Chain A
């Protein structure tokens, strides 16, 4: 771990300004991802701005009937909130499928969205990795890639985004609210928030340097049956091989987002029209451009079968 300095910000804009001012500075929220990466020198920020005191830890109803989730709301609290459990069940279930109780107590909404990949080569500084060290190459391509992406990947990187929460938020059409150093704010639809790796896998989101997430907003509830199914090698405390977040309406229409397959939560709205025709048709649309590796081609079958099971469950 490299030595770093530390400060507590007293307003969101001041926090953003502090990061912008200091090259190599980063926000720290729960620290459950960032500190691990710092210990391994995968992240080497010279300065940390602690955002825990910014009072961004509340949930409030929005005027149009939605829910605004403060960036610092802990995963545990978000999953347990009665409004979330009632109106956005898929989100509560996704959160509870992630990490462990202890981690969820620390992990925040913004931190969860920004957690970095679990590609094992990203975690070993002896190995080339374009995400960790741009231009160094990608050790995962041709290597051990069972966990990695099957769709939307590039010649430069085949990593996945590991979040469960983000998959549910993608299905719910969340928007990310931010503030920049100059105090200006903007909202970014979740679909545009995470990027595909392309030639720049180290740039993972639409955020500009210093931009602070202040909240994530959910539109007003859409009803329907909410299912989150996470498929993994052990029963708990494991990242998804694939996961499916689905909201299915009585009339058979619905939405589906998939985790564990791409550099971002994966959703293809056009494919959702096929839900009444079943999982095979939906998967064909979802994964039309899939380019799996030898190790992870099974994910294509797995998505289809998991989705079939989820749709059957949603129908009741």
Chain B
């Protein structure tokens, strides 16, 4: 189905199932331990052997020698894979460094060997006996040190008007630099894969967000035809972008299984993950804003620097600034430098998550300079069109409504605009806010739908559910389209033998994958109508029946003994060129700062989101509160601590890399505006899972400033960065 004109009324608008707060249909499987995660497929691959990955002990250089003797002789060892015996390998197009390194080393903990043994313990013990000598080389590890060597990225700068002139002339201005650190996805389930060969066919049971990317890159790396690789990943214990790509677990499991001549299981250990896999790269961001005394922005510039391995891409942290606020003169761009750190790549809301942490603090600082309320300052600079192209409207933009409703619900009017004034016992208390913004991305997505003689509708698509609730919204979509209850729908996901979907990333999964299911259901409705000899436009699907004129036929009967099946997908025209499609929101935060120690504790959070039709308010809320939690982490504690001498992330476990715990997360509230966006898709929905993260960190930072009067422009805002500026102890 081609979607090239805005949606009109369609069966989804009935909202009998879609739009209702719905429990996860896969919830019981998960709470009873019956959902099978990658490492737990105990019965699919008999005689499985266990692989343990050895990562490089240096960040850059060469392996001088590798002594495998002792490991080979260790009890239970079946095979050892290194670059020497792995055969000729290519590199997947989505990998910057090779996944099996050696003799050249490109980053710390780059995999250099897989030890395969009868048991997990034997593999790990034998791995400890491998002796590797390295010849280290000098590398570049410190972004600040290589910043001046950075280059403009291929998208180029967005230049509108004369920024320099307008900024120089602006009566009120700000020029500040903000930094964000490297961050780790730190999802619960580590990367894990079981691989089994049958002749020249390879099956991997894994944990991956983008099934087709995985098939493509795994087959490319192994130099084999794509159709000989099957990827199965129905349940995923979190990903946040860390599982978008083929990683070492899957490649090495496949190589290990080939070498061992039997299935091999590989899980990455947590200490390995943080340097072996991808991470959100650090940024340095310079924001300049010039405005008239009435708050009208006349000039805005946002430049972002990040680093990566050769072939890796930049963090697009300035991108939202192209679209979020008006301003006649603009200069926006990203720059990239070469660093020999582990690969930087997408982590939840790549670009905006880091970019909004800078831009939205700059807006707060600017409002203060203007003597304006920060909410009003943002409203003053709202725009209903792409600031670089007045002929390109937003498909929907209810930013102002989000800001106003949030202010009202949060009690913003009670905020003392003068910072450092509110005290509650030991605590200095402040309120902060920020806009939320994230683009809505359209990408094609297909599904297959079957109706059987029991009236059961089965949906198959390679879409994944990374904990977001994909199973449930897909079931809701099929139920709505086919006029049945959720109990009559079965959903099967995460298998490369199913039609290729959008996958889970960039908050594009919900809208695109359900739109693909919508398309397939339209086709199935046509097949049903045709079989009954009625015009599908005249047929209504309700209560498990097809109603056409006076006829009422149960779906089960219409399906007949052979059942009916249809496959289709959604493909998009140029509506995203004609219109800018984005999601909007507002974050409000109350934070308290211990007047003595500087410890920061968030007290209250509110997010208001305008993100098209909310397909399942229950799982959407869960996505947003999870994102808000991640935003607190980014603001206050998350940082991969870098050893700039040797080029690795030092705090590579969950004791050292702190993410928020329950005690950090207080009362959270989420409000969704009642919105539909017919320009986005037939579902009239957009994404929301990343929107919830974009701006939270800045809202926390702004609350800390309101509480203390102090600005920390170097995330995370830990107490060591401002302790000496807190008021003296009485």
A144 with B643, Cβ < 8 A, contacts A3-B125, A121-B650, A235-B664 known: yes
Among A144, A238, A279, A306, max chain B CB count under 10 A is at: A144
B703-730: contact bitstring with A at CB < 8 Å (1 yes, 0 no)? Answer: 0000000000000001110011010010
A124 touches B655 (CB 8 A): no
**B655 partner, pick from A2, A39, A41, A239, beta carbons under 8 A:** A239
Within 8 A of B (CB), among A97-128: 118, 120-121, 123-124, 126-127
B658 touches A233 (CB 8 A): yes
Q: Is A301 an interface residue (CB 8 A)?
A: yes
Chain B residues closer than 8 Å to A121, beta-carbon distance: 650
Chain A: CB-nearest residue to B127: A41
A241 touches B719 (CB 8 A): yes
B729 touches A279 (CB 8 A): yes
State how many angstroms separate the Cβ of B329 from the closest Cβ of chain A. 41
Q: Is B124 an interface residue (CB 8 A)?
A: yes
Chain B residues closer than 8 Å to A41, beta-carbon distance: 128
Chain B: CB-nearest residue to A232: B599
Cα distance A305–B599 when bound, in Å?
12
Which of B414-422, B526-534, B634-642 lies at the binding interface?
B634-642
Chain A residues closer than 8 Å to B637, beta-carbon distance: 233-234
B601 touches A144 (CB 8 A): no
State how many angstroms separate the Cβ of A156 from the closest Cβ of chain B. 18
Cα distance A231–B636 when bound, in Å?
14
B426 touches A309 (CB 8 A): yes
**A120 partner, pick from B641, B660, B729, beta carbons under 8 A:** B641
Q: Is B652 an interface residue (CB 8 A)?
A: yes
A233 with B660, Cβ < 8 A, contacts A1-B121, A2-B128, A279-B729 known: no
Q: Is B663 an interface residue (CB 8 A)?
A: yes
B636 touches A234 (CB 8 A): yes
A123 touches B599 (CB 8 A): no
Cα distance A142–B660 when bound, in Å?
28
Chain A residues closer than 8 Å to B154, beta-carbon distance: none
**B57 partner, pick from A120, A126, A144, beta carbons under 8 A:** A126
Q: Is B292 an interface residue (CB 8 A)?
A: no
Cα distance A236–B659 when bound, in Å?
11
Chain B: CB-nearest residue to A242: B597
A2 touches B719 (CB 8 A): no
A234 with B658, Cβ < 8 A, contacts A126-B57, A144-B650, A146-B641 known: yes
Q: Is B21 an interface residue (CB 8 A)?
A: no
Q: Is A6 an interface residue (CB 8 A)?
A: no
Chain B residues closer than 8 Å to A229, beta-carbon distance: 597
State how many angstroms separate the Cβ of A173 from the closest Cβ of chain B. 27
Q: Is B188 an interface residue (CB 8 A)?
A: no
Q: Is A23 an interface residue (CB 8 A)?
A: no
State how many angstroms separate the Cβ of B533 from the closest Cβ of chain A. 64
Determine chain A's interface SS by DSSP, over half rule: loop
State how many angstroms separate the Cβ of A264 from the closest Cβ of chain B. 21
**B729 partner, pick from A2, A237, A241, A309, beta carbons under 8 A:** A309
Interface residues on A, range: 35 or more
Chain A residues closer than 8 Å to B653, beta-carbon distance: 123
Cα distance A237–B659 when bound, in Å?
10
Cα distance A41–B130 when bound, in Å?
13
B661 touches A301 (CB 8 A): no
Chain B residues closer than 8 Å to A290, beta-carbon distance: none
A142 touches B645 (CB 8 A): yes
Q: Is A135 an interface residue (CB 8 A)?
A: no
Chain B residues closer than 8 Å to A306, beta-carbon distance: 596-597
Q: Is B497 an interface residue (CB 8 A)?
A: no
Chain B residues closer than 8 Å to A231, beta-carbon distance: 597, 599, 719
Q: Is B656 an interface residue (CB 8 A)?
A: yes
Chain B: CB-nearest residue to A120: B650
Chain A residues closer than 8 Å to B601, beta-carbon distance: 235
State how many angstroms separate the Cβ of B200 from the closest Cβ of chain A. 36
A1 touches B661 (CB 8 A): no
B664 touches A308 (CB 8 A): no
Q: Is A302 an interface residue (CB 8 A)?
A: yes
Among A40, A126, A229, A234, max chain B CB count under 10 A is at: A234
Q: Is B225 an interface residue (CB 8 A)?
A: no
Chain B residues closer than 8 Å to A53, beta-carbon distance: none
A268-288: contact bitstring with B at CB < 8 Å (1 yes, 0 no)? Answer: 000000000001000000000
Cα distance A232–B663 when bound, in Å?
12
Cα distance A3–B664 when bound, in Å?
40
Q: Is B2 an interface residue (CB 8 A)?
A: no
Chain B: CB-nearest residue to A304: B729
A298 touches B720 (CB 8 A): yes
Among B597, B643, B660, max chain A CB count under 10 A is at: B597
A120 touches B651 (CB 8 A): yes
A234 touches B719 (CB 8 A): no
State how many angstroms separate the Cβ of A282 from the closest Cβ of chain B. 13
Chain A residues closer than 8 Å to B642, beta-carbon distance: 144
Within 8 A of A (CB), among B581-604: 594-599, 601
A126-147: contact bitstring with B at CB < 8 Å (1 yes, 0 no)? Answer: 1100000000000100111010
**A302 partner, pick from B426, B597, B643, B651, beta carbons under 8 A:** B597
Cα distance A229–B597 when bound, in Å?
10
Q: Is B662 an interface residue (CB 8 A)?
A: yes
B664 touches A234 (CB 8 A): yes
Chain A residues closer than 8 Å to B729, beta-carbon distance: 279, 304-305, 308-309
A233 with B636, Cβ < 8 A, contacts A2-B125, A3-B125, A144-B643 known: yes
Chain A residues closer than 8 Å to B371, beta-carbon distance: none
**B650 partner, pick from A40, A142, A143, A298, beta carbons under 8 A:** A143
Q: Is B271 an interface residue (CB 8 A)?
A: yes
A301 with B724, Cβ < 8 A, contacts A234-B658, A309-B426 known: yes
State how many angstroms separate the Cβ of B309 from the closest Cβ of chain A. 20
State how many angstroms separate the Cβ of A311 from the closest Cβ of chain B. 10
Within 8 A of A (CB), among B87-144: 121, 124-125, 128
Within 8 A of B (CB), among A142-165: 142-144, 146
Within 8 A of B (CB), among A170-219: none
Cα distance A218–B308 when bound, in Å?
56
Chain A residues closer than 8 Å to B719, beta-carbon distance: 231, 233, 241, 298, 302
B662 touches A236 (CB 8 A): yes
**B596 partner, pick from A233, A296, A308, beta carbons under 8 A:** A308
Chain B residues closer than 8 Å to A233, beta-carbon distance: 636-637, 658, 718-719
Within 8 A of A (CB), among B269-297: 271
B326-355: contact bitstring with A at CB < 8 Å (1 yes, 0 no)? Answer: 000000000000000000000000000000
Chain B residues closer than 8 Å to A2, beta-carbon distance: 125, 128
**B661 partner, pick from A126, A237, A304, beta carbons under 8 A:** A237
Chain B: CB-nearest residue to A238: B658
Cα distance A302–B718 when bound, in Å?
12
Chain A residues closer than 8 Å to B643, beta-carbon distance: 139, 143-144
Chain A residues closer than 8 Å to B660, beta-carbon distance: 234
Chain A residues closer than 8 Å to B724, beta-carbon distance: 298, 301
A77-104: contact bitstring with B at CB < 8 Å (1 yes, 0 no)? Answer: 0000000000000000000000000000
State how many angstroms separate the Cβ of B121 from the closest Cβ of chain A. 7
A298 with B597, Cβ < 8 A, contacts A234-B636, A236-B661, A309-B426 known: no
A1 with B125, Cβ < 8 A, contacts A235-B664, A302-B597 known: yes
Within 8 A of B (CB), among A1-25: 1-3
Give the interface of A toward B (CB within 8 A).
1-3, 39-41, 118, 120-121, 123-124, 126-127, 139, 142-144, 146, 229, 231-239, 241, 279, 296, 298, 301-302, 304-306, 308-309
CB-defined A-B contacts under 8 Å, sample of 24? A1-B121, A1-B124, A118-B655, A118-B656, A120-B650, A126-B58, A142-B645, A143-B645, A144-B651, A146-B641, A231-B719, A233-B718, A234-B636, A235-B663, A236-B661, A236-B664, A241-B719, A301-B724, A302-B720, A305-B596, A306-B597, A309-B595, A309-B596, A309-B729
- Apart from A3-B125, A233-B719, 7 more pairs, CB < 8 Å: A120-B656, A126-B57, A142-B645, A143-B646, A236-B663, A296-B720, A305-B729
Enumerate the 5 nearest inter-chain pairs by beta-carbon distance, A residue then B residue, closest first. A126-B57, A309-B596, A235-B663, A298-B720, A236-B663
